[in-house]
Structure 1
Amino acid sequence: MPKRGIQPVRREQLIRATYATIDQVGLADATVAQIAHAAGLSAGIVSHYFGDKNGLLNAAMRQILRDLKAAVARYRGRADDTPRAQLRAIVDGNFDQTQTNRTAMRVWLTFWAASMHQPELARLQRANDHRLYSNLCWQFRRVLPPERARAAARGLAAMIDGLWLRGSLAGGDFDVAQARALAYEYLDHQLGAGA
């Protein structure tokens, strides 16, 4: 009989091993056996907790989305309640180290590509896109007319994703400070134009 409380530990081990394996060999070449080996567990454990490789990938994407949500919430919790401060906090959360380290960036790129072919991953990606847009739009609407707020939110969401994507593909370290500065400049321009 398994020890009480071991399931979350094993699930976490397997999810982190999935990240590491994708980072090393990519999604296409990652096998359940490699992931289990990286976690120091048997391949049967993957089936027990996740069903199959797709179930494990789904759980891994859910975890990276939870990490993103937690990072954004952490920055927003520390920020003033002004629209500018809250918007900057959303930018900061998206460029947090949990989202911009080498492994996280490779995992995100893998999931984005896989979401074009796997309906469950596509659903998770759409939910993530909607959450970002909705949070940005809510803050912009505090100071801009609705249509302008929607356009500003679409633009900032695209800028966050674009800066992140360019940074991930550039090789080397991601210049988080530069990405934040560019996003801040865009949002300050939108807020200044609306004043």
Structure 2
Amino acid sequence: MPKVGMPKIRKPQLVQATMTVIDRVGLHSASISLISKEAGVSTGIINHYFGGKHGLLEETMREILRQLSVTITARLRELPADAHLQRINAIIDGNFVGYQAESKVAKTWLAFWSYSVHDPELKRLQRVNEKRLLSHLKIELKALFNKDQAELIAHGIAALIDGIWLRGTLNPEGIDASKAELIINDYLDKQLTFYSQQ
């Protein structure tokens, strides 16, 4: 967590520099020296405000999560409360377009995803993100399915989002948001048909 008093211009500058360096050399080779050089600051600034590389990595992950939350919340605000299918699509879309689809952001996500397996704080942040996604989905799905069905389908959609996102990030052509939406909507349509016949 950055210390109080960190100049507002410095924090985004360092987060952007961190993602740029991770994009270029990978997480393990993203040294304080390379990041500070990219940001045009001294290594002492990073150590002073973030306590070193790990603190800066945590702040970078938090910023990516904040941006995701802001994007999805803004999209949901634009839609009527009863437009459940549109709202589900807004949640899906928020994971695949804009800031989240930028190459350096996607590569940083991927690096953190693997790194969080062995890092308690990054793992906690990943769990917060997962719970937020499931919560958004379940709110909308409970209007279309019973509680148990909504829970199961929310996990299915979340798994599809993660899987499609991972494949897209590893693909040189990047993430295809429209294809992701088609695949997930196909799954959702099948669930709606299946449960309506019960």
Q: What's the TM-score bracket when you normalise by the shorter of the two chains?
A: over 0.9
- Report the counterpart of residue 149 of structure 1 in structure 2: 150
Cα pair 2:93 2:177 within 8 Å, conserved: no
How high is the TM-score relative to the length of structure 1? 0.93
- The aligned amino acid for 1:150 is E
Aligned residue pairs, count: 191
For residue 166 of structure 1, report the CA deviation from its aligned partner.
0.8
CA distance in 2, matches of 1:122, 1:145: 31
- Report the counterpart of residue 173 of structure 2 in structure 1: 172
CA distance in 1, matches of 2:144, 2:185: 16
- Report the counterpart of residue 33 of structure 1 in structure 2: 33
Range with bigger deviation, 126-135 or 75-84: 75-84
RMSD: 1.4
Look up the SS of the partner of 1:186 in the other structure.
Answer: helix
- Report the counterpart of residue 7 of structure 2 in structure 1: 7
Alignment of 1:59-70 (within 5 A): 59-70=59-70
CA distance in 1, matches of 2:21, 2:106: 13
- The aligned amino acid for 1:176 is A
For residue 6 of structure 1, report the CA deviation from its aligned partner.
6.7
Deviations 1:74-104 (A, max 9, x none): 2212223221111111001111221112111
For residue 49 of structure 1, report the CA deviation from its aligned partner.
1.3
Cα pair 1:168 1:174 within 8 Å, conserved: yes
**Higher fraction of helix:** 1
CA distance in 2, matches of 1:136, 1:112: 21
For residue 164 of structure 1, report the CA deviation from its aligned partner.
0.5
Q: Percent identity?
A: 40
Look up the SS of the partner of 2:7 in the other structure.
Answer: helix
Unaligned runs of 5+ in 2: none
Unaligned runs of 5+ in 1: none
- Report the counterpart of residue 78 of structure 1 in structure 2: 78
- The aligned amino acid for 2:57 is L
CA distance in 2, matches of 1:194, 1:98: 35
Alignment of 1:32-51 (within 5 A): 32-51=32-51
- Report the counterpart of residue 17 of structure 2 in structure 1: 17
- The aligned amino acid for 2:70 is A
- Report the counterpart of residue 182 of structure 1 in structure 2: 183
- Report the counterpart of residue 116 of structure 2 in structure 1: 115
4+ runs of 1 displaced by more than 3 Å? Answer: 191-195
Cα pair 1:137 1:150 within 8 Å, conserved: yes
- Report the counterpart of residue 163 of structure 1 in structure 2: 164
- The aligned amino acid for 1:50 is F
CA distance in 2, matches of 1:114, 1:7: 28
For residue 187 of structure 1, report the CA deviation from its aligned partner.
2.2
CA distance in 2, matches of 1:109, 1:40: 25
CA distance in 2, matches of 1:188, 1:43: 52
Look up the SS of the partner of 2:73 in the other structure.
Answer: helix
For residue 192 of structure 1, report the CA deviation from its aligned partner.
4.0
Cα pair 1:95 1:180 within 8 Å, conserved: no
Cα pair 1:75 1:92 within 8 Å, conserved: no
Deviations 1:2-27 (A, max 9, x none): xxx87111111101100000000001
